[in-house]
């Protein structure tokens, strides 16, 4: 194998491999923390770890971190509508008398 | 002229840019599709917190955790495949896509065994449902809906991923068609959805 090919291989493998290891560590962490009684924080911690995992997936596996502006915009808009959905829905449910 | 180039594009770069924009817009609609289910989950969990925790405690966390690791690993293989195809390392890329599809199939098989256990434990909403706590049945309705819709996505993903090494026996197509990147984005998205489903369905009520 020429040095050129092995440099390419390293460039291909490095970021996904680190991401994959980080994802598995975060998975182990979130499972372990689910058994620690934290009250309402359990859900928040679990969702925070899930968000971190998805950030790794979207930014590195899906390469959004060095995607073109138009692609990053399209991806961000998907999240924007989701934010609207939750904002409007909870502005209703959380303001109802219980 | 490359076999990967299709009408109406004049060059591969523009074709790639359009195809990737298209899949991101499609994934935006998918975010809202699953978003509706997440929204329903959020409201009902707020209204029936005890029932949701009792419900979540009954999910098979071993299957759920193993399947999360499997799907994350499949995404790793997919990420390698897409990068290898782009770099022209065709044989390695094809192998990565077969590994991705195989891990997807393992995910579905494990999900099947898990469903069998769920059914045996009377966790299908309806007459004879196992948990008395109010709201647990709503949790389990969402469990079946979310995981089945996700499983359909995995199934479609397996088909799309298997197409890559088959159509990609043509090296020029494999290394230059935007189908490779687009399929990769879809697969990672299905993985990303599972990453959210996992804490919602498996981790509640354990502490």
Provide the CATH number for the domain around residue B28.
Answer: 1.20.120.80
| CB-neighbour burial class of residue A14 (10 A; exposed 0-12, middle 13-18, buried 19+) | exposed
pLDDT at B31 over 90: yes
pLDDT at B1: 65
Distance (Å, whole) CA B9 – CA B177: 12
Tokens of A65: 């971190």
HSE-CB at A52 with a 13 A cutoff on CA atoms is: 16
pLDDT at B45 over 80: yes
Say whether A74 and B198 touch across the interface (CB within 8 A): no
pLDDT at B48 over 80: yes
- B74 falls within a domain: yes
Contact indicator for B168, B198 with CB cutoff of 8 Å: no
- B4 falls within a domain: no
What residues of chain B lie within 8 A of the CB of A59, using their CB? none
The per-residue pLDDT for range B147-198, each reduced to its tens digit, is 999 999 999 999 999 999 999 999 999 999 999 999 999 999 999 999 999 9
**Whole-prediction pTM:** 0.95
What residues of chain B lie within 8 A of the CB of A48, using their CB? none
What is the value of ipTM here, to two decimals? 0.95
- Chain A residue nearest residue B29, CA to CA: A78
Nearest beta carbon to residue A27 from set B46, B69, B87: B69
pLDDT at A7: 73
The per-residue pLDDT for range A33-65, each reduced to its tens digit, is 999 999 999 999 999 999 999 999 999 999 999
Q: Report the first-to-last Cα separation within chain A, whole angstroms.
A: 70
In angstroms, the separation between the Cα of residue B73 and the nearest Cα of chain A is 7
Tokens of A89: 């829905």
- B207 falls within a domain: no
């Amino acid at each position: 194998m020429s040095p050129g090919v092995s440099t390419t291989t390293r460039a291909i493998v490095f970021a996904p491999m680190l991401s994959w290891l980080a994802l598995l560590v975060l998975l182990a962490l979130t499972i372990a923390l689910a058994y620690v009684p934290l009250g309402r924080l359990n859900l928040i911690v679990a969702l925070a770890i899930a968000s971190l995992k998805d950030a790794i997936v979207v930014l590195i596996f899906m390469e959004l971190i060095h995607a073109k502006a138009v692609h990053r915009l399209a991806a961000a808009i998907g999240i924007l509508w989701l934010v609207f959905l939750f904002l409007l829905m909870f502005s209703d449910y959380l303001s109802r008398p219980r | 002229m490359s076999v990967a180039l299709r009408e109406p594009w004049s060059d591969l770069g523009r074709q790639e840019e359009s195809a990737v924009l298209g899949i991101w817009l499609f994934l935006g609609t998918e975010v809202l599709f699953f978003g509706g289910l997440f929204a329903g989950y959020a409201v009902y969990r707020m209204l029936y917190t005890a029932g949701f925790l009792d419900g979540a405690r009954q999910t098979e966390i071993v299957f759920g955790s193993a399947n999360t690791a499997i799907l994350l690993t499949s995404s790793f293989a997919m990420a390698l495949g897409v990068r290898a195809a782009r770099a022209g390392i065709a044989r390695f890329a094809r192998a990565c896509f077969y590994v991705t599809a195989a891990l997807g199939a393992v995910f579905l098989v494990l999900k099947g065994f898990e469903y069998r256990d769920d059914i045996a434990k009377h966790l299908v909403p309806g007459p004879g449902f196992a948990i008395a706590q109010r709201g647990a049945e709503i949790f389990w309705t969402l469990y079946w809906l979310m995981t089945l819709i996700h499983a359909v996505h995995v199934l479609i993903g397996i088909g799309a991923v298997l197409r890559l090494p088959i159509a990609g026996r043509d090296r020029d197509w494999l290394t230059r068609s935007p189908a490779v990147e687009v399929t990769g984005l879809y697969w990672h998205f299905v993985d990303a959805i599972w990453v959210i489903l996992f804490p919602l369905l498996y981790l509640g009520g354990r502490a």
